[in-house]
A and B are shown apart, each in its own frame.
Chain A
Amino acid sequence: MSTGDVSRRDFLKLSAIWAGSAWIVGFTTASSSNHREPYRTLTDEEAAIIDALADQIIPPDEYPGGKDAGVTHFVDQQLGGYLKGFASEYKTCLPALNNDAESRFGKPFIHLDEREQYSYLSELESGQFDNTSWGPYRPSSFFNIVRHHCMMGFYGSPVHGGNKEYISYQMLGLSVVQEPKRPGAP
C-alpha cells in the first residue's frame, strides 16, 4: 500500500538526478545572464526598487546578493500567490519609499549610492520616518515586511522563485541533496 513515501532506492536515484542539475552551477551564471523572466505582478520600476532593497538586505559579497539570487522574482511570484495579501502594501509603499529618500538625500532611493541606501534604510527601520505614513502603512513596518520576504526569497526553496540554484545553501556549505549519514561517521 502506498503511504506517500518513496523507497530508499528511489530516493537515492532522485538524489543523483538532483545532484546532476543542482550542483553544476558557478556563481557567475546568476549575474551574467542577460535573459530574465518577465515580471508578473511588479512593474519594472517596482522591480528595480526591490532589486536595490534586496541587495541592501542581503548584499553581494564573495557570494551573490539578494538581487542576483532572484529575491525580486520570489517577491514578484508570491505577491500574485501566497503573499497576495501584501500586494497593495507593496504597490503603495515601494514608490513612497523611493521618493521619500529625496527629502533626506536629494535623490530617489534607487539613485543613492550604497552607503546612502544603507543609512536611509537604517533610518526607516528605526522608525525615524514613522511620523509620515504611506497610505495606511507605516514605513518601519513595511521595511520589516520587505526584510522578511527577502530572507524568504534568499534562504527558502527555489521552487518559490528565489534562492536561484540554491545559492544560499552553497554559501552555508549545505548540500542540496542529503546523502544518507550516520552519527559519529567522519
Chain B
Amino acid sequence: MANTKVDAIIVGSGAGGGVVAKELAVAGLSVVLFERGGWARYSEHRDDELTAQRSFPLHCYFGPDNERYRRVAVDHDGNERIVLPNDWAYHNNAACVGSGTVCYGGMAWRFMEEDFKMKTVYGSVEGSTLDDWPISYHDLEPYYEKAEWEIGVAGNDSLNPFAPPRKRPHPMPAFEHNKEGRILENAAREIGYHPFSIPMLRNSIPYGDRPECIHVRNCVGFVCPVGAKNGTHNTVIPTAIRSGNCELRTDCQVTEILINDRGRVTGVSYFDQNDQKKEQHARIVILAASATETPRLMLNSASRFFPDGIGNRNDWVGRNLQGHAYCGADGLFDKDIYDDVGPGASVAVSDFAHNNPGVIGGAVLCNEFIRLPYAFTGAHPPNTPSWGKEHKKNQRTYFHRTASLRGPVQEMPNFESRVEVSQNVRDHWGVPVAKISGFKLDEDIRTAHFIADKAEKWMEAAGAVKIWRNIPDTGVSGSQHQSGTCRMGNDPKTSVTDKYGRVHDIDNLFIADGSLHVTNGAFNPVLTIMALGYWVSDYIIKEWEHGNRFGG
C-alpha cells in the first residue's frame, strides 16, 4: 500500500541524511526520513563494552542486528564467507537514528585544501583511480562552518599552522588535555611538532540547550549519558521534526528505488517495522545510507533503463571503496599517565597530513581514545603473555601506563575495492546482501610506515620505555570511515554523481553520504559528510526556490 506522496525521501539518518532532512524540512519541503534502526538510549546501553560500537564481540547494540543482517566478505584469494554485523569484515556502521554520530568519538575535522585535489598535488599513482574532487575546499568551506555551528564543534585552529583557512572560528572553545594528553603535547613541542586540541563535536561549554561534557571514560562507542556529544540525532533531526515537515520513519528497511517508464525516480519500496512491504512516493529521493548500503540499494534497483542497477551505466557504483589505513605506535611508560578523564583523544598534529617528502598524502596523528578493560586485554606490548598470572598483573599495571598514537592514512582509491551485491546470499527480507572485496595498495602501507615512524619518535620523546608499531594489513578498508563508492565528478564516465551529488542521467536522485568522496582525506570524515549534506541540500533548495519540482 502506498503512502501519501511527499516532496523528498531521505534514506538513512546519519551524518549526511540527518542534515539533509533538516535543511529540506525547514525550507518547507515535506520530507520522510527513513531509518532502518531505532533510537539508541543511554538508559538501555549504559557502560556495556561488549556491545559498544568500539568492540562488539557479543553483538552491536547500535545495530544492525545479527539476526536479520549479513554480508559476504571476499578474501585475497577470492574465497567468500558470510559475515555478521559484529564481525569486523562486515564493515559495520551503526544502524540507529543518527547512526555513527550517536556513538562516535566526534572528531570534527575539516579536510585540508590538498585533500580535494590529490591528483593535481601528487599526480597519478599506479593501480589507483586517484583524482581531484569536482569541488574545492573553498566551495565547501561555508558548509563546514554551518556544520560546526549548527551541530556544535569545540576547537581552536590557532595552534595548528596547517589548518585550512576559515572565515569564522569554532563556536566553542577547544578542550583541555587530560594527563596523558599534556605529556604528549609537551613531547610533541620538544621535537618540533605542532600539537593542538582536536576539534570535537562535543560541548566544551553548554551549547544548543545541551550541557557541557562531563569527560566519562565510555565515550566513543557509547551514547553520551548527558547528551553533550553532538550528532544529528540530538541536533538537526529534532529540528527537522519540530518544523512539522519531516516524518521520521524508524525500523524501516528501504530495499529498492522505484523508477517509472520515463526513467525518473518515483520513490522507494521498503519493509516497515512489521515486515510489511510498502511504497513511498516522492518528487526527490536522497540516498544517505552509507558507502556500503547506498551502492547496495542502487545495485538492487535494476530496471529497463538501468539493467545493472540505477546510476550504474558505467560500472562505477560500488567501486573505489576506501576507509583509512590506520597506523601508529603504542608506548608503555614507567609511571602512571592515566587520570581517567575521558574520552582520552585530545591532542593531534597535522604536520604529516601532507607535504611529506617522497610520500603521497599522509595522516593527521592523534592520541587514542581510552581503551576499555576488555579491549585493553589485547593491547599489551608484543611478546608478553596473553593469559595467566602475568597477563592479569600487566593488565592492572599497564592500563595506567600505556598510550597510543594513531593516524588515519589517506588511502589511494582503487577500482577493485568494491561493494557488489551477492548472487546467492539474502537478508531477512530476501534482498541480496552487500558483498565486499578488495585490498590496499602498496603505497598505503608505505605511507603507514612513514606515519608510524613519526608516531614512534613522538612516543619516544614522551618518555615511553617500550614502544611498538602498528601497521595495517593489506585487506580492504571501509568500516566506520567507509567512503568513495559513488564518487562525484564532472565526467559521467568516471563518476556516479555530478558535483551536487545528483546521480548522472537522473535529475531527481541524489546522494548525500560518504559515498560521494572522491578521496577520503587524511582525517576522520564525518564533518565532511555533514558539510556535503548541507552542500547537496543547498543545491536542491535553490532549484526548488526557482520552481524546479524535479519533474514530479
Chain A interface residues toward B at CB < 8 A? 1-8, 11, 56-59, 61, 63, 78, 81-83, 118, 125, 147-148, 150-152, 155-157, 159-160, 168-169, 171-176, 178-185
Contacts and interface: CB of A to CB of B under 8 A. Distances in A.
A159 B48 contact: yes
Given A57-B388, A168-B373, A156 B50 contact: yes
12 contacts: A1-B238, A3-B238, A8-B226, A11-B214, A58-B391, A78-B58, A83-B58, A151-B387, A160-B48, A169-B373, A172-B395, A184-B176
Contacts of A118: 388
State the 10 A-B residue pairs at the shortest beta-carbon distance, nearest first.
A180-B214, A5-B227, A4-B41, A183-B176, A155-B373, A82-B58, A156-B50, A155-B374, A178-B216, A157-B48
Contacts of A57: 387-388
B43 interface: yes
A182 B42 CA distance: 21
B286 to A, nearest CB: 22
Interface of B: 39-43, 46-50, 57-59, 66, 97, 175-178, 181-182, 211, 214-218, 223-227, 233-234, 238, 241-242, 340-342, 346, 373-374, 376-378, 386-389, 391-393, 395-396, 399-400
Contacts of A152: 50, 57-58, 374
A173 to B, nearest CB: 7
A172 B176 contact: no
Given A147-B387, A178-B342, A5 B377 contact: no
A167 B242 CA distance: 45
Contacts of B97: 4
A3 B234 contact: yes
* Highest count of chain B CB atoms <10 Å: which of A157, A175, A176: A157
Nearest to A65: B392
B242 A1 contact: yes
A62 B207 CA distance: 46
A181 B340 contact: yes
Given A11-B42, A169-B373, 5 more contacts: A1-B241, A5-B42, A155-B377, A178-B216, A182-B215
Contact of B340 (A4, A5, A174): A174
Contacts of A82: 58-59, 66
Given A4-B39, A5-B227, A58-B387, A157 B47 contact: yes
A6 B346 contact: no
B400 to A, nearest CB: 7
Contact of B389 (A61, A147, A156): A61
B14 to A, nearest CB: 15
B373 A8 contact: no
A173 B217 CA distance: 13
* Highest count of chain B CB atoms <10 Å: which of A147, A173, A181: A181
Contacts of A125: 387
Contacts of B387: 56-58, 125, 147, 150-151
A181 B339 CA distance: 10
Given A157-B47, A169-B373, A174-B373, A4 B42 contact: yes
A183 B175 contact: yes
A177 B384 CA distance: 31
Contacts of B378: 151
Contacts of B39: 2-4
Contact of B50 (A150, A160, A172): A160
Contact of B218 (A3, A147, A178): A178
Given A61-B392, A183-B341, A156 B374 contact: yes
B49 A172 contact: no
Contacts of A185: 341
A113 B216 CA distance: 43
Contact of B214 (A150, A159, A181): A181
